[in-house]
Chains A and B, each alone.
Chain A
Amino acid sequence: MSGLRRAAALAGAAGVAALLVPAVRELPAVGSRIADYGLAVNELGAPLQRVTNLTTAVNFAFRALDTLGEEFVLFTAVCAVAVLLRETRAGEDRPEEANLDVERPPAAQWVAPLQVGLLAAVGSSLALYGHLSPGGGFQGGVLLAGALLMLYLGVGFGAFSRVARPRLLEARECAGVAGYVAVGLAGLAGGSFLANVLPLGTTGSLLSGGAVPVLDVLVALAVGAGLGAIFMEFLQEVVTEGGDEG
């Protein structure tokens, strides 16, 4: 940067600091005051919804409509990535030998396949127990997509593309999002969109919390498939089938 620009940037930063430092000093101490909504969720959340993970209760029961919006954000992102990358790939013509799959070092070949099962198990458990312990559908779904990625990193693009078939991923993602909307429409029978119509069960057991575990699983399905599709589109930019891999 030229000298004048640097001086102007530093002057701006000094101005922001002059405002920021007294503002930070007037903040209450960390954890000293919990907002009223937080207190209300802490007291009423467990009896109302019979779940023990209250952030999941807020995500999938009290504010389930916002989570539906977030799912559609991810859905739109996957659509955008697919449209953009497939268009550019259709336009250009790359030589056949370009970007053949590389040979993996032995460390990757040994460790990554072990991770596939591990990530799939942990991801599924996070999604299924989302209403009981920290976690939830989104975290579990991302780990499921990570298991697919480990397949690519450890075995090869051929194995990855045999599992991550685009049509299958699209079907799973749409099933997850449509299932969420279907649960919401079923809630119309209980009074309003996304109202809870399933039995609540006993707190702490796997089948408790009404529709919360169902929505957890649906979100995990949608997020896992959506991110898997994103990985697939990105990887197809740099790797083509063939070469020396499994």
Chain B
Amino acid sequence: MTPFAVVCLLAVAGLGTASVLTRDPARQVLVVGVYGWVLALLFFALKAPDVALSQLVVGGLVTPALLLVTLTRLGRHR
């Protein structure tokens, strides 16, 4: 386990906790997006580049976009 992977693991744990502790829905979407990026970094550190790319595109692009549109539709984006 390389030091880079250990750092990524700690960052993933920290950001996961942060995304649970963020109460405002719009901000939570952004924190979850960053969490997705760091998770992709972790997959890359564990030598799984295809999985990292999938996580990056889905967790960084599709999930925040759909979540933000849903929040706007429900009127909770303020």
Interface residues in chain A, defined as those with a beta carbon under 8 Å from any beta carbon in chain B: 29-31, 53, 55-56, 126, 134-136, 138-139, 142-143, 145-146, 149, 227, 230-231, 234-235, 237-238
Contacts and interface: CB of A to CB of B under 8 A. Distances in A.
A139 B54 contact: yes
A-B complex: 7 closest residue pairs judged by Cβ atoms:
A134-B49, A142-B57, A139-B53, A234-B69, A55-B50, A146-B61, A237-B73
Q: What DSSP secondary structure best describes chain B's contact surface?
A: helix
B65 interface: yes
Contacts of B62: 142, 145-146, 227
B69 A238 contact: yes
B70 interface: yes
Contacts of B52: 134
B61 A142 contact: yes
Interface residues of B, number: 19
Q: What DSSP secondary structure best describes chain A's contact surface?
A: helix
A225 B6 CA distance: 38
A139 B57 contact: yes
Contacts of B69: 234-235, 237-238
A10 to B, nearest CB: 16
Given A238-B69, A238-B72, A135 B50 contact: yes
Contacts of A135: 50, 53
B58 interface: yes
B31 interface: no
A95 B71 CA distance: 20
A139 B57 CA distance: 7
B46 interface: yes
**Of residues B1, B54, B65, B73, which shows the largest number of chain A Cβ atoms within 10 Å of its Cβ?**
B65
B53 A134 contact: yes
17 contacts: A29-B1, A30-B1, A31-B47, A53-B50, A55-B50, A56-B50, A134-B49, A136-B50, A139-B50, A139-B53, A139-B57, A142-B54, A146-B61, A230-B66, A234-B66, A237-B69, A238-B73
A149 B50 contact: no
A134 B61 CA distance: 19
Nearest to B55: A139
A149 B46 contact: no
B47 to A, nearest CB: 8
A144 to B, nearest CB: 10
